[in-house]
A and B are shown apart, each in its own frame.
Chain A
Amino acid sequence: MSWKHKHLLGLADLSREDLELVLETAKSFKEVSSRDIKKVPALRGKTVVTLFFEASTRTRISFELAAKRLSADTLNIAVNVSSTSKGETLLDTARNIEAMNVDAMVVRHSSSGAVFLLAEGLNCSVVNAGDGCREHPTQALLDMFTLQEKFGRIEGLKIGIVGDILHSRVARSNIWGLTKLGAKVTVCGPATLMPRGIEALGVDVCYDLKKVLKQSDAVIALRLQKERQQDKFLPSLREYSRLFGIDQAKLNEGSDHLIVMHPGPTNRGVELSADVADGKQSVILDQVTNGVAVRMAVLYLVLGTKVSEGG
């Protein structure tokens, strides 16, 4: 089994074997983070740049730590989008940074597909840290890693994804990844935030949260952007929370082994109540820990493997 991809742009492009390889590789890197000396020389001499056109704290520092624990040099660039909208194009910005001999660029951008533009226009590896509503592959990989850890398998698991499916790159990447590994995915959320034809991606749609909690092994609650109410997708946050927010009472009626996941940061009281977020069924902090291991695996694979052609 070998890795053939110069970039990681999304899970839609990966095979089941690719996904298993990342998860397997992450397992050994997780052990590194638990050592006294949390560092291996795997990427010594490589330069990894995080180039974020959207605000982010945890994804960026997770990538940064991952690169550092692999001994790569790191540089973080946060680009104010308003300054790039005038004159310099996205590709110009990235080419200027690449000209300083960068090996990998970890990119977050508000435009779906922006990473394709960069992967085509640059020579270095591009790792997608979230592009618009399209994909957030490392988030899905860390979710899958966490599921694997908790259940020992992904094949046959029943996973509910709850919330704003329409605008969620986390949902899309998880749908690609989980269905490829044989999980059964149900998406749940307000009809106004359910993208048209989502069933074609191989998922079930259910508008009844209680039913989803009852039938699932794990639920992934998505972050609800507060702007969605201003955009009139929702009557009110209160109504959203009543129908699709997960609290302890609803959880008590769910399956007894159910675990609760969230990509963070959580709007407490909206998609998750505080007691659920901190409760014993929550694995949110495990997800954060695993994020570093998974991102180490991704950087190691895209940079550590000699690739003749882009993939």
Chain B
Amino acid sequence: MGLLIKNAMIVNADKIWDKPHDILCEEGKITKIASGIATGGHETIDASGKKVLPGLIDIHTHLRQPGREDKETIETGSRAAVKGGFTSIMCMPNTNPVIDNAMVVEFIIREAKRVGLCNVYPVGAISKGLQDGELTDMAELKASGCLAFSDDGKAVLNSRLFRLAMEYAKMLDVLIIEHCQDPLLSAGGVMNEGVVSTRIGLKGDPGISETVTVARDIEIALYLNARVHLAHMSLKRSCELIRFAKSQGVKVTAEACPHHFVLTDEACGSFDTSTKVNPPLRSKEDVQAIKEAIAEGTIDCIVTDHAPHTKEDKEVGFDTAPFGLIGLETSLGLTVTELVKGGFIDLAQMVDKMSSAPARIAGLASKGVIKQGFDADITIIDPDKEWTVTREGFVSKSKNSPFIGRKLFSQVEYTICAGKVVYKF
């Protein structure tokens, strides 16, 4: 008994199929793609009129468990993920305890399996306790399930340690993800430094805190001929640096978040603390540059940087509120609305940015494409259906979204993970 998706208009990164096909999923894999596959006792979904994509993959999310289960858990985060069309997510290590030892990795994987909604891949810490001092036991962490390493939440400020981490990661063939933000330059900034921060008197974080780290990391990657993945790029200048590095053959990849291509720092003028995020919301010019960089490929993929916080934590003054906003449930809608409907990319490119490229970057070889023999992770959407973001609609434990009230295109109709329906609208 398998799952049969009838009349599927398949959208892969390399091709938007022009005729409907049937997809048969058995034992967690896609076993057959053809026209008129016999129903033969399989559970059947009719995908007529919808688009059928490889399951979305978010390589940058925060699940808060262990440690801050009041903000999010692996269970509620998984629920938010599948509602947003994601079948695989990578969770960042700034939990308590930190994901810097095999026990925590094993706990997360076990809990995610128990929840059984989507694949959860823990990202290991680069430095023990995120303290920027000593490297973690990366080989052991890899053996227990980490595909990537990051001190996300902050940059590895110690340049020598970062060099060593990249060398070591190269040997193990795992990914290093860098949160590019020099804390000495940020100097306690809570929003983008510019005319808006000057006007409203909030402490500015200058764009150079990001770009000097981008430039440093590119130089180290070039020197070592090693891979580096730059998290949540927010600036025009960062895109220029990455474009140049790629033209020189540096093994650099980069990601961007929907809030950085939808909102500008003007949004902080409302003092709504859900607009307080790291890196901060930038200028109009930066927003435009990020969209263009996604379209032309300088930015490889789109991630959520889903960062849940409780109402109590966010209902304080702007400068004391924690950084971050939730994104798992709005990422697809924002991307379709702003980038696809906005004419920057087509649906196939979107599949690349939200599934194929993340799979490639993270090393998930059997994901990111709808193809016989690949994992049966599939997201069925209606890209033209409009819906409104509401506070009550979020299944995430936290509601810190600056997009509440916004109308978005693209409804997730079904999310299928390992051949099993894990979400149905």
Cβ of B164: which chain A residues have Cβ within 8 Å of it? none
Report how far A198 CA is from B193 CA in the complex, Å: 11
Instruction: Determine if A112 and B318 form an interchain contact, defined as CB atoms under 8 angstroms apart.
Output: yes
Does A134 reach chain B (CB closer than 8 Å)?
A: yes
Give the shortest distance, in Å, between B269 (CB) and chain A (any CB).
9
Q: Which chain B residues (298-330) contact chain A, with CB distance < 8 Å?
A: 312, 315-320
Instruction: Determine if A195 and B320 form an interchain contact, defined as CB atoms under 8 angstroms apart.
Output: no
Identify B201's interface contact among A85, A117, A134, CB under 8 A: A134
Cβ of B195: which chain A residues have Cβ within 8 Å of it? 196-197, 200
- A89-B316, A90-B316 given as contacts; is B202 within 8 A of A113 (CB)? yes
Identify A116's interface contact among B193, B199, B203, B271, CB under 8 A: B271
Cross-chain pair count, CB within 8 angstroms: 73
Instruction: Determine if A196 and B315 form an interchain contact, defined as CB atoms under 8 angstroms apart.
Output: no
Cβ of A110: which chain B residues have Cβ within 8 Å of it? 317, 319
Does B194 reach chain A (CB closer than 8 Å)?
A: yes
Most chain A C-beta atoms within 10 Å of own C-beta, residue among B198, B201, B312, B317: B201
Contact pattern, B 190-219, Cβ under 8 Å of A = 1, otherwise 0: 000111011111111010000000000000
- A196-B193, A197-B195 given as contacts; is B315 within 8 A of A113 (CB)? no
Cβ of A135: which chain B residues have Cβ within 8 Å of it? 201
Cβ of B206: which chain A residues have Cβ within 8 Å of it? 196
Most chain A C-beta atoms within 10 Å of own C-beta, residue among B200, B206, B317: B317
Instruction: Determine if A197 and B201 form an interchain contact, defined as CB atoms under 8 angstroms apart.
Output: no
- A89-B312, A196-B204 given as contacts; is B317 within 8 A of A111 (CB)? yes
Residue in A closest to B271 when the chains form the complex, CB atoms: A113
Cβ of B318: which chain A residues have Cβ within 8 Å of it? 111-114
Does A190 reach chain B (CB closer than 8 Å)?
A: no
Report how far A169 CA is from B198 CA in the complex, Å: 11
Instruction: Determine if A112 and B202 form an interchain contact, defined as CB atoms under 8 angstroms apart.
Output: yes
Instruction: Determine if B319 and A85 form an interchain contact, defined as CB atoms under 8 angstroms apart.
Output: no
Report how far A251 CA is from B199 CA in the complex, Å: 30
Residue in B closest to A90 when the chains form the complex, CB atoms: B316
Residue in B closest to A81 when the chains form the complex, CB atoms: B320
Q: Which chain A residues (75-102) contact chain B, with CB distance < 8 Å?
A: 85, 89-91
Report how far A133 CA is from B188 CA in the complex, Å: 14
Does A109 reach chain B (CB closer than 8 Å)?
A: yes
Report how far A250 CA is from B185 CA in the complex, Å: 36
Cβ of B204: which chain A residues have Cβ within 8 Å of it? 195-196
Does A69 reach chain B (CB closer than 8 Å)?
A: no
Instruction: Determine if B317 and A90 form an interchain contact, defined as CB atoms under 8 angstroms apart.
Output: yes
Q: Which chain B residues (108-128) contact chain A, with CB distance < 8 Å?
A: none
Give the shortest distance, in Å, between B39 (CB) and chain A (any CB).
56
Interface residues on B, range: 20 to 34
Report how far A195 CA is from B203 CA in the complex, Å: 10
Contact pattern, A 101-125, Cβ under 8 Å of B = 1, otherwise 0: 0000000011111101100000000
Most chain B C-beta atoms within 10 Å of own C-beta, residue among A112, A169, A196: A112
Instruction: Determine if B199 and A132 form an interchain contact, defined as CB atoms under 8 angstroms apart.
Output: no
Report how far A131 CA is from B200 CA in the complex, Å: 10
Identify B317's interface contact among A12, A109, A195, A198, CB under 8 A: A109
Q: Which chain A residues (173-207) contact chain B, with CB distance < 8 Å?
A: 195-198, 200-201
Instruction: Determine if A111 and B193 form an interchain contact, defined as CB atoms under 8 angstroms apart.
Output: no
Give the shortest distance, in Å, between A267 (CB) and chain B (any CB).
21
Report how far A111 CA is from B190 CA in the complex, Å: 11
Q: Which chain B residues (237-277) contact chain A, with CB distance < 8 Å?
A: 270-271
Instruction: Determine if A201 and B317 form an interchain contact, defined as CB atoms under 8 angstroms apart.
Output: no
Cβ of A91: which chain B residues have Cβ within 8 Å of it? 315
Report how far A26 CA is from B254 CA in the complex, Å: 58
Give the shortest distance, in Å, between A143 (CB) and chain B (any CB).
17
Identify B198's interface contact among A85, A113, A114, A195, CB under 8 A: A195
Residue in A closest to B199 when the chains form the complex, CB atoms: A201
Give the shortest distance, in Å, between A93 (CB) and chain B (any CB).
11
Q: Which chain B residues (159-210) contact chain A, with CB distance < 8 Å?
A: 193-195, 197-204, 206
- A89-B315, A132-B319 given as contacts; is B198 within 8 A of A117 (CB)? no
Does A172 reach chain B (CB closer than 8 Å)?
A: yes
Give the shortest distance, in Å, between A176 (CB) and chain B (any CB).
9
Contact pattern, A 42-66, Cβ under 8 Å of B = 1, otherwise 0: 0000000000000000000000000
Instruction: Determine if B198 and A112 form an interchain contact, defined as CB atoms under 8 angstroms apart.
Output: no
Residue in B closest to A166 when the chains form the complex, CB atoms: B198
Report how far A204 CA is from B201 CA in the complex, Å: 18
Give the shortest distance, in Å, between B309 (CB) and chain A (any CB).
13
Report how far A112 CA is from B319 CA in the complex, Å: 7
Instruction: Determine if A132 and B202 form an interchain contact, defined as CB atoms under 8 angstroms apart.
Output: yes
Instruction: Determine if B194 and A196 form an interchain contact, defined as CB atoms under 8 angstroms apart.
Output: yes
Instruction: Determine if B198 and A200 form an interchain contact, defined as CB atoms under 8 angstroms apart.
Output: yes
Cβ of A117: which chain B residues have Cβ within 8 Å of it? 271, 315-317
Instruction: Determine if A134 and B200 form an interchain contact, defined as CB atoms under 8 angstroms apart.
Output: yes
Report how far A114 CA is from B195 CA in the complex, Å: 20
Report how far A85 CA is from B195 CA in the complex, Å: 30
Residue in A closest to B312 when the chains form the complex, CB atoms: A89
Most chain B C-beta atoms within 10 Å of own C-beta, residue among A90, A117, A135: A117
Instruction: Determine if A134 and B202 form an interchain contact, defined as CB atoms under 8 angstroms apart.
Output: yes
Most chain A C-beta atoms within 10 Å of own C-beta, residue among B194, B197, B198: B198
Residue in B closest to A175 when the chains form the complex, CB atoms: B199
Instruction: Determine if A196 and B198 form an interchain contact, defined as CB atoms under 8 angstroms apart.
Output: yes
Cβ of A111: which chain B residues have Cβ within 8 Å of it? 316-320
Give the shortest distance, in Å, between A180 (CB) and chain B (any CB).
14
Residue in B closest to A131 when the chains form the complex, CB atoms: B201
- A117-B317, A132-B319 given as contacts; is B193 within 8 A of A169 (CB)? no
Contact pattern, A 200-220, Cβ under 8 Å of B = 1, otherwise 0: 110000000000000000000
Report how far A66 CA is from B57 CA in the complex, Å: 61
Report how far A197 CA is from B200 CA in the complex, Å: 12
Report how far A110 CA is from B202 CA in the complex, Å: 11
Report how far A310 CA is from B259 CA in the complex, Å: 30
Most chain B C-beta atoms within 10 Å of own C-beta, residue among A135, A195, A201: A195
* 5 sample A-B contacts, Cβ–Cβ < 8 Å, listed by A number: A12-B199, A135-B201, A195-B204, A196-B194, A197-B194
Closest 6 CB pairs of A and B: A111-B317, A134-B201, A113-B271, A133-B201, A197-B195, A195-B198
- Given pairs A111-B317, A113-B317, 13 additional interface contacts (CB within 8 A): A90-B317, A110-B317, A114-B317, A114-B318, A116-B270, A116-B271, A134-B200, A135-B201, A169-B201, A172-B201, A196-B197, A196-B198, A201-B199
